[in-house]
Amino acid sequence: MSQDLLSFFEQRAIRFGQRQAELQQRYNLYATVRVLWFLAVLVLTFYFANVRLLGGVAATLAIGLAGFVIALKRHQQVAHQRDEARHLKEINDEEAARLRHQFRHLPDGAQYADLRHPYTSDLDVFGPHSLFQYLNRTTTHEGSNRLAAWLQYPAEAAILAQRHAALRELSEQLDWRQQVQAAGRHAPAAQPPLLNETPSRIFQEKSWLSTLRWVLPLVTLTLFALVALSILPLWVPLLALLGQILLLRQVFQPLYEATFQGDAQGKRLKSYVALFQAIEQASFSAPLLQRLHQTLTQPQRASRVIADLSAIVQWLDSRANLLYGIFNGLLLIDLWILHRLERWQEHNLPQLPAWLDALAELDALNSLAATHFAHPDWCLPASSDEPVFLEAISLGHPLLPPDRRVTNDLALSGLGETLLITGANMSGKSTFLRTVGAGMVMALAGAPVCAAQMRVSRMQVFTSMRTQDSLEESVSGFYAELKRIRQLLDLLNTTELPIFYMLDEILKGTNSRDRHTGAMALIHQLHRRRASGMVSTHDIELGQLEKDLGVSLKNFSFNSQIVGDEIRFDYHLTPGICRSFNATKLMEQMGIAIDSEPTT
């Protein structure tokens, strides 16, 4: 943990917390002013009405309304500033929490978990204490999906280079990045679709509605005027009004579908306007950032178009208001709103996917840039053009605290290569495989990696580590592992990328003899395919495969030392087959009496 960075984020959180407290006091003051203003207007209105000064009543109401509107807008501005300060405090608190490795309260991406995925379950990509949870700073539904996709599919080298250039630039723009994060947090966490996938076309299907939205209110208002002049009876305009209300039923369902979740949708749109404005006002030098910026600003600014939609949604939110209902029946406001919404959809809906795609990309890049800033000692891996190439120096697991993290070097290149890793119990074999897997997943997503240096080619990672039995499906642990290996073999027949496999405690669910025979056969089979990888095992006899396969199989191990009653691990990868085992000592420590001669 970098104490300087930890202190830096803590101080920023304190500063924004103080700002939030100041703005809360100002917010409370405006609330009091609004109440007092309303009471003063009420008292003055009654006073002038009582003395029959109609001019005073009119002036009081006019000035009172103007003052109330001004106070309301200022109150809302202060509320927005207070919320932004609160969001910025939370953002910096979360950055400090990540550096302390206390981040289980953050969104974990569990919705993306897939047991059938080639590696995400075994490598803790999603779920509690996961890579996604550590990396994720996204604030939009689209950005979260994009970051999750990056962690699930390896990117091409050219795309990785673009992402690296972008996050190098963004990492230096701390205030801007956190401003964008804060803007995104003004929207509710649960985000509905931005628009109905099927746009409303009622005015295209019933073009006569466009004329009626003008004509009918004029006719009805004229009829009421004639009633006021005692020319017509009241039932005539009331009948016309009833006809208008029945007409509004034609547009109720389209408007209801467009409204979605009302207030939540309105807040989300305002948040998107702020996000787009922050991006549009920035200037970038990285090619990827310039392209995304151009998407949002040319031929028109996305923020202005989304602001128009936000204004429409604000009207939709008003439909629950009593005054809206009264005037809606008379003026057919629903028709006007629906017409405006359809025109917006006609002119802007085709551009919306591109804007949301650019926003998703920037939101995901922001997460990687924040990680790069928080870990300046982590590297941005280089890419290799070879089919299979992996080289890392001082590679560690990003989810382990620095005081518990042990780093190792690793090198593997060429197809048909296997690193066979033997080791004692608890010596670090599984953790090392997950460390390599996590590093590769992050590298192939474009993220910084917990290593001094790393170079990797584009490969499909595949793991078999946490296979479990299933009582519900009547599947034993051994059969579950065989199904996972079958999935690996099937993937070899379908993917165009070379596969980098990581098989932990291979065939652990069967007897030693069958495990040894099966493991040997599988390694031989994998060496004839477009694949390379690592296999961990307790079966030291598998190490003899190095004689059969030559340089295509290399033995490495994790070892332990028994000093008195203590078992000591150094968790460092060592060339050669494991030289020490500790199962007997571990059983003794658990209370199992181990005799030199078995008793009957």
33-42, 378-387, 548-557: least confident range:
548-557
Q: pLDDT tens-digit profile of 404-423?
A: 899 999 999 999 999 999 88
Instruction: Please indicate, yes or no, whether residues 6 and 45 belong to a single structural domain of this protein.
Output: yes
408's enclosing H/E stretch is: strand 408-413
Residue predicted with more confidence, 301 or 226: 301
Instruction: Please indicate, yes or no, whether residues 366 and 386 belong to a single structural domain of this protein.
Output: no
Instruction: Please indicate, yes or no, whether residues 387 and 359 belong to a single structural domain of this protein.
Output: no
Distance, CA of 373 to CA of 99 (rounded, Å): 12
In the predicted model, is pLDDT for residue 472 greater than 50? no
Burial class (CB in 10 A: 0-12, 13-18, 19+), 104: exposed
Q: Check residue 599 and give its pLDDT.
A: 47
Long-range contacts of 90-96 (CB under 8 A, 24+ apart): 90/185, 91/137, 91/178, 91/181, 91/182, 91/185, 92/9, 92/10, 92/12, 92/13, 92/16, 92/178, 93/9, 93/13, 94/137, 95/9, 95/370, 95/374, 96/6, 96/9, 96/10, 96/13
385 SS3 class: coil
Burial class (CB in 10 A: 0-12, 13-18, 19+), 54: exposed
Residue predicted with more confidence, 594 or 438: 438
In the predicted model, is pLDDT for residue 403 greater than 80? yes
Q: Which of 113, 120, 117, 106 is nearest to 151 (CA)?
A: 120
Instruction: Please indicate, yes or no, whether residues 542 and 564 belong to a single structural domain of this protein.
Output: yes
Would residue 109 count as lying in a domain?
A: no
Would residue 334 count as lying in a domain?
A: yes
Other CB atoms within 10 A of residue 286 CB: 19
pTM listed for this prediction:
0.85
CB 446, CB 582: distance < 8 Å: no
Q: Which of 469, 430, 460 is nearest to 569 (CA)?
A: 430
Total domains present in the chain: 3
- For 527-561, the DSSP string reads TTSSEEEEEEES-GGGGGHHHHHGGGEEEEEE-EE
Domain with residue 302: its CATH number is 1.10.1420
Instruction: Please indicate, yes or no, whether residues 239 and 333 belong to a single structural domain of this protein.
Output: yes
Range 87-100 average pLDDT? 96
Sheet holding 382-384, edge to edge: 382-384, 453-457, 389-395, 408-413
CA atoms lying within 13 Å on the CB side of residue 543: 16
In the predicted model, is pLDDT for residue 187 greater than 80? no
Q: Which domain holds residue 208?
A: 115-374
Structure tokens at 523: 């390694």
What is the radius of gyration, based on Cα positions, of the chain? Answer: 33
CB 189, CB 401: distance < 8 Å: no
pLDDT band at 50 (very low <50, low <70, confident <90, very high): confident
Sheet holding 553-558, edge to edge: 460-464, 499-503, 531-537, 418-423, 553-558, 574-575
Domain with residue 496: its CATH number is 3.40.50.300
Residue predicted with more confidence, 386 or 245: 386
Distance, CA of 68 to CA of 74 (rounded, Å): 10
Structure tokens at 324: 């809206």
Would residue 38 count as lying in a domain?
A: yes
280-289, 377-386, 563-572: least confident range:
563-572
Would residue 55 count as lying in a domain?
A: yes
Domain boundary among 355, 374, 393: 374
Would residue 64 count as lying in a domain?
A: yes
Instruction: Please indicate, yes or no, whether residues 386 and 350 belong to a single structural domain of this protein.
Output: no
In the predicted model, is pLDDT for residue 244 greater than 70? yes
Q: Check residue 473 and give its pLDDT.
A: 47
Instruction: Please indicate, yes or no, whether residues 345 and 445 belong to a single structural domain of this protein.
Output: no
Domain boundary among 102, 125, 142: 102
Instruction: Please indicate, yes or no, whether residues 299 and 186 belong to a single structural domain of this protein.
Output: yes
Using CA atoms, how far residue 416 sits from 91, 128, 229, in Å, is: 46, 35, 97
Range 309-329 average pLDDT? 70
Distance, CA of 4 to CA of 477 (rounded, Å): 47
Domain boundary among 374, 407, 436: 374
Distance, CA of 153 to CA of 297 (rounded, Å): 29
14-18, 34-38, 331-335, 426-430: least confident range:
331-335
Range 119-143 average pLDDT? 95
pLDDT band at 513 (very low <50, low <70, confident <90, very high): confident
Q: pLDDT tens-digit profile of 54-91?
A: 788 788 888 887 888 788 888 888 988 999 999 999 99
Distance, CA of 566 to CA of 578 (rounded, Å): 19
Would residue 594 count as lying in a domain?
A: no
Residue predicted with more confidence, 554 or 250: 554
- For 448-466, the DSSP string reads -BSSSEEEEE--EEEEE--
Instruction: Please indicate, yes or no, whether residues 178 and 42 belong to a single structural domain of this protein.
Output: no
Mean pLDDT across the chain, nearest whole number?
84
- For 497-531, the DSSP string reads SPEEEEESSTTTTS-HHHHHHHHHHHHHHHTTSSE
Q: pLDDT tens-digit profile of 252-279?
A: 666 655 555 555 677 788 888 999 999 9
Instruction: Please indicate, yes or no, whether residues 345 and 201 belong to a single structural domain of this protein.
Output: yes
Using a pLDDT cut of 70, give the percent of the chain over it.
83
Would residue 349 count as lying in a domain?
A: yes
Would residue 600 count as lying in a domain?
A: no
Residue predicted with more confidence, 598 or 172: 172
pLDDT band at 193 (very low <50, low <70, confident <90, very high): low
Instruction: Please indicate, yes or no, whether residues 347 and 452 belong to a single structural domain of this protein.
Output: no
Instruction: Please indicate, yes or no, whether residues 391 and 274 belong to a single structural domain of this protein.
Output: no
